[in-house]
Amino acid sequence: MSLCVRIIPCLDMKGGRVVKGVRFGALRDVGDPVELAARYAQEGADEIVVLDVTATLEERGHRLDLLRRLRRVLDVPLTIGGGIASVDDALQVLAAGADKVAINSAALATPALIDSMAERFGAQCTVVAIDVSRQSQGFAVLSRAATCDSGRELGAWAAEVEARGAGELLLTSFDRDGTGQGFDLEAIAVARAHTTLPIIASGGAKDEGDLAPAIAAGADAVLAAGMFHSGRVTIDSARRALIQAGLELRT
Amino acid sequence: MTPLADVVVVETGTANVASVVAALARLGRRALLTRDAEVVRTADCVVVPGVGTFGAAVASIDAAKLRRVLSERVARDQALFGICLGMQVFGDASEESPGATGLGAYRGVFRRFPQRPLLRVPQFGWNRIEGDGQGIDDGYAYFANSYRLEEAPAGWSVAWADHGGPFVAALERGATTLCQFHPEVSGTYGATCLQRWLERSRCLSEVTA
């Protein structure tokens, strides 16, 4: 007996709608978040991640309302990320219905925010999202929706994030996002070599065949958006592919 | 039809209370969030949620003068459901917060999962539960914890799970259910746990004026 591998559909949000793009750009409308999330949960998704890709100030009110509606229908864990810049921000989304909060740019700007969140809410609640891009040597950690190079390197940042008390990493390959080239297995392996925290692999999944290799590379969960939104892959077919690869999934 | 009594959810000042409220609502039950000791004492059924640290949760219980009220509910077999940290606080202590004293409703000290290759800490995700046939059912539930109880306390029905060795997934006795996992986000399995508790305890009593 051990922990099950998790399949996590991701909803990238903009203006109250689910969108999907390529390398964080070229966003197109995919559908209604509550409808999609409820469908994925019903089909057997192990968790749902909602990322506000353009979390502007005026959209925050809408986001809390959306969260409340998502919470009503979702009976699996819900992680919220995007624009969370303080413990107060985190408190608001938790009160509205999130189970876990993902921080990214704010953690890079002020790493002590990870400590504060872990202290206030527990490691169990504190997810650090890391967006990376391949360099000639290693992986650079990007910030501000991958518009800036943070100057940090993946391995060192993963280790620091763990030391500061985070509970989980959401590792996204910017290079692979929306491309269908498969997960960046090397990035997963680098992160895994530097942390014992659970890793959610994200960015690049095209179909069922891409999932098991991410687990073999060191991930504990696979996150995908486009392949589920398009209907190309169902939660069930993803589950069957992982079970066939000899992995345990919940029933 | 007379409405069913509200389920009192203790505000321990910790994180995902909204998920607990939503799970109860899906079962047709209204949740009443409170820290008022008298409300907790006289409630038909009480849920103690919990995400955070052992020490903070215990301090929050003491600050609201809830220690005795909660202990007595368990001792008198008045319906109570503790979730995750809301289970742990009813034990004796936890390595997480040395010096903090639990409510001692059962004997047990929570220890951190061992540090070893391939064992992820925190335990984050769905794990398989094996009941003893008398209480919690077999199935998969969602866990998010770094500390766990390794020995079964006497006098309780026990369900087990495994993460680097067996640990207590849930304890049941009469109208008390204490679980290490999160029924509020454990799909149909979790909803069934909560519903079974509501049915088993006096929580289906109608509101009396």
Tens-digit pLDDT profile for residues B14-72? 668 999 999 999 999 999 999 999 999 999 999 999 767 899 889 999 999 999 999 99
Per-residue pLDDT at B16: 85
- Hey, of B12, B51, B126, B167, which one would you mutate to test binding to chain A, going by the most A CBs within 10 A of its CB? B126
Q: Give the rounded distance of the alpha carbon of A51 from its chain centre.
A: 7
Tokens of B203: 């929580």
Q: Is the pLDDT of residue B78 over 60?
A: yes
- Going by pLDDT thresholds of 50, 70 and 90, the confidence category of residue A1 is very low
- Per the listing, tokens 């800036």 go with A148
Selecting from A74, A96, A124 the residue whose C-beta is nearest the C-beta of B122 gives: A124
Q: Is the pLDDT of residue A183 over 70?
A: yes
Which among A101, A78, A97, A72 is positioned nearest to A89, based on CA atoms? A101
- Going by pLDDT thresholds of 50, 70 and 90, the confidence category of residue B99 is very high
- Hey, of A66, A170, A249, A250, which one would you mutate to test binding to chain B, going by the most B CBs within 10 A of its CB? A250
Distance from CA of A206 to the nearest CA of B (A): 24
- Contacting A residues, span 38-57, partner chain B, CB-CB under 8 Å: 41, 46
Contact in structure between A132 and A146 (CB atoms under 8 Å): no
β-bridge partners, B173 = B176
Amino acid identity of A104? N
Other Cβ atoms less than 10 A from the Cβ of A84: the count is: 26
> Which of the 8 DSSP states describes residue B206?
B
Identify the burial level of A223 via C-beta atoms within 10 angstroms of its C-beta, where 0-12 means exposed, 13-18 middle and 19 or more buried: buried
Residue among A12, A52, A175, A210 flagged as catalytic: A12
Rounded to the nearest integer, the mean pLDDT of chain A is 93
Tokens of B163: 């993460």
Selecting from B19, B119, B124 the residue whose C-beta is nearest the C-beta of A167 gives: B124
**Do B14 and A121 lie within an 8 Å CB cutoff?**
yes
Q: Is the pLDDT of residue A193 over 80?
A: yes
| DSSP per-residue codes, B74-118 | HHTT--EEEETHHHHTTSSEETTSTT-----SS--EEEEPP--TT
Question: How far apart (Å, rounded) are the C-alpha atoms in residues B83 and B23?
Answer: 13
Per-residue pLDDT at A53: 72
Selecting from A75, A96, A100 the residue whose C-beta is nearest the C-beta of B187 gives: A75
Contact in structure between A1 and B127 (CB atoms under 8 Å): yes
Q: Is the pLDDT of residue A176 over 80?
A: yes
Q: Which residues contact A74 (CB under 8 A, 6 or more apart)?
A: A37, A38, A41, A48, B22, B185
**Percent of chain B's residues with pLDDT above 90:** 78
A131 in active site = yes
**Helix residue spans in chain B (DSSP H):** 17-26, 37-42, 54-63, 67-75, 85-88, 187-200
Tokens of A247: 């992995």
Q: Is the pLDDT of residue B73 over 50?
A: yes
Cα B191–B14–A48 angle (5° rounding)? 50
Instruction: Note whether A121 contacts B: Cβ–Cβ < 8 A.
Output: yes
Q: Is the pLDDT of residue A98 over 50?
A: yes
- Going by pLDDT thresholds of 50, 70 and 90, the confidence category of residue A222 is very high
Q: Is the pLDDT of residue B209 over 50?
A: no
Contact in structure between A33 and A17 (CB atoms under 8 Å): yes
Rounded to the nearest integer, the mean pLDDT of chain B is 91
Per-residue pLDDT at A27: 84
Tokens of B178: 């204490």
**Do A75 and B119 lie within an 8 Å CB cutoff?**
no
- For the whole model, what pTM was predicted? 0.93
**Percent of chain A's residues with pLDDT above 90:** 78
B163 in active site = no
Per-residue pLDDT at A87: 93
How much of chain A is helix, strand and coil, in % rounded to 5? 40, 25, 35
Per-residue pLDDT at B116: 87
What average pLDDT does this structure show over B96-116? 95
Instruction: Note whether A21 contacts B: Cβ–Cβ < 8 A.
Output: no
Q: Is the pLDDT of residue A106 over 70?
A: yes
Contact in structure between A184 and A204 (CB atoms under 8 Å): yes
**Percent of chain A's residues with pLDDT above 70:** 96
Instruction: Note whether A68 contacts B: Cβ–Cβ < 8 A.
Output: yes
**Do A120 and B140 lie within an 8 Å CB cutoff?**
no
Question: How far apart (Å, rounded) are the C-alpha atoms in residues A7 and A19?
Answer: 19
What average pLDDT does this structure show over A33-60? 86
β-bridge partners, B95 = none
Per-residue pLDDT at A25: 82
- Per the listing, tokens 């004796």 go with B92
Q: Chain A: residue nearest B52 by CA?
A: A122
Tens-digit pLDDT profile for residues B2-23? 567 789 999 876 668 999 999 9
Find the largest Cα–Cα distance for chain B.
58
Query: How many CA atoms within 13 Å lie on the side-chain side of A140?
Result: 15
ipTM of this predicted structure: 0.91
Identify the burial level of A187 via C-beta atoms within 10 angstroms of its C-beta, where 0-12 means exposed, 13-18 middle and 19 or more buried: buried
Instruction: Note whether A78 contacts B: Cβ–Cβ < 8 A.
Output: yes
> Which of the 8 DSSP states describes residue A83?
S
Tens-digit pLDDT profile for residues B133-189? 887 899 999 999 999 999 999 999 999 999 999 999 999 999 999 999 999 999 999
**Do B126 and A3 lie within an 8 Å CB cutoff?**
yes
